[in-house]
Amino acid sequence: MSDMSRIKTFNLPDLGEGLTEGEILAWLVKVGDTIELNQPIVEVETAKAAVEIPAKWAGQVQAIHHPEGTTVEVGTPIIAIDTDPGAGPLDAPSTTATPSGDLPTPSAASLAAVEVAPAEGMVEPGLIGGAAPGGRTAVLVGYGPRTTAAKRRPRKGAVPAQAVTAPAPAAPTPSPVVTPAVAPAQNGRAATVTGGVLAKPPVRKLAKDLGVDLGTLTGSGPLGSITREDVQQAASGASVVVAEPIVATTAPSFGADREQRIPVKGVRKLTAENMSRSAFTAPHVTEFLTVDVTRAMKALDRLRGRREWRDVRVSPLLLVAKAVLLAVQRHPMVNSTWAGDEIVVKEYVNLGIAAATERGLIVPNVKDAGRLSLRELADALTDLVQTAKSGRTSPAAMSGGTLTITNVGVFGVDTGTPILPPGESAILAFGAVREMPWVHKGKVKVRQVTTLGLSFDHRIVDGELGSKFLRDVGEFLTDPEAALLAWT
């Protein structure tokens, strides 16, 4: 096999939802590694999700074109793979950088040895398809890669990016050093500060699998984050040097040396744009309702005790979701969108559940939730939450929502005034369930109580409609069994 057909360059695919670029979070392979077809090779973060991209070919990694932390546009080459490493060595290309620090100019011979992704109409084995309608090439998710240059975001302390080419002996990696942060001395005593561990979800999973405590490591990645190499080195038994705490002896400063600047990007940037657009576009109104949910909590206990539900995660959120779906059937205008000169009332409910993740707030949704049984709804909610916590929510799972629930009660908060997701007309805040004194059957008793907060778009939902919708949700939670008999 010739060099031209052996070396193939994989471009960053179109990740769908109109996304045009992604940041390389972590390379899961290195130059010289032998990889398999569909093996995850790189983790890329877009404005909506972090995704692992699989290898399109089996073979040996010959070059990685962009380091971690680089923002790359769709269609830009990111990795070169030798698809027949057993055929013998390749001609080694020059790796000398220009005086300005730019990447070397490839020779004609090296360019001839590279084969890019197949042209339209050709299908390679793996997860990538062939030609798409309209003459565009089908990619990992969606269509339409762009062949433009990479755009790199400068990072503090970053080394100028250079392409990594043919495998070379790796220099030994120094052991990670654990250095407890120390606060300024107070009354002659130093206070050791223990902060949160900065590590990406794949790194956390790797540490969990290998039994490595991330709290004992200091990362070598950007902003002190812990990398896969740090975890693997700790798991291999490499020594970890613990530095002695240094007692601050100078007066505290209040300048940039004690400030942290966090780039606004990815999910957080998209969330900020959406919330700003919604807050200043839709006229928000929020109403509150405090309800006795003692019967609902007892119903959940009885449900958990049933044999067919013993392996199902049953939480108060399940009953809140069911209450919302039934209330939508009684007041369908709440499940609608403002479209300028018309209101689009939707006969399906893609029920969004706001989830706080390490990467920021995301709102995945359960598609057509109104058609699901209570058991199916419970399974869907469990899968949605677990996927969000692991950082594997896809862009498709976060699009098309029609109505949202935000469970602020998990943080011990009673309620809130949530901002509408763009394109939705209502969002319900579910507060903490607390034991409180409550008048029940003419006597003051300790009951389980929660507070609901409903924000709605006043262009679509007027006060009467919003109040009736919130009342029905409250009535269901007050006596779910009676509401089911009366409404279904």
- Phi first, then psi, for residue 472 (nearest 5°) are -65, -40
Helices (H) and strands (E) in the chain, counts: 10, 24
Q: In what order do the strands lie in the sheet with 71-73?
A: 50-54, 40-45, 21-27, 71-73
DSSP for 252-309, written as a single string: P--SGGG-------HHHHHHHHHHHHHHTTS-EEEEEEEEE-HHHHHHHHHHHHSGGG
Question: Per the residue annotation, which of 65, 284, 331, 458 is the catalytic one?
Answer: 458
Instruction: Specify whether 458 is catalytic.
Output: yes
Q: Tell me the three state secondary structure of residue 439.
A: strand
Helices 316-330 and 463-478, packing angle to 10 deg:
140
CA dihedral 212, 214, 220, 225 (to 10 degrees): 140
Q: How far apart are the C-alpha atoms of 450 and 431, rounded to whole Å?
A: 6
Cα dist from 370 to 326, 373, 423, whole Å: 8, 8, 19
- Supply the DSSP string of 121-187, one letter for each residue: T---SSS---B-GGGPBB-SSSB------------TTPPPP--B-S--PPPPPPPPEE--EEEEEET
Largest CA distance in the chain: 91
List residues with catalytic annotation: 458
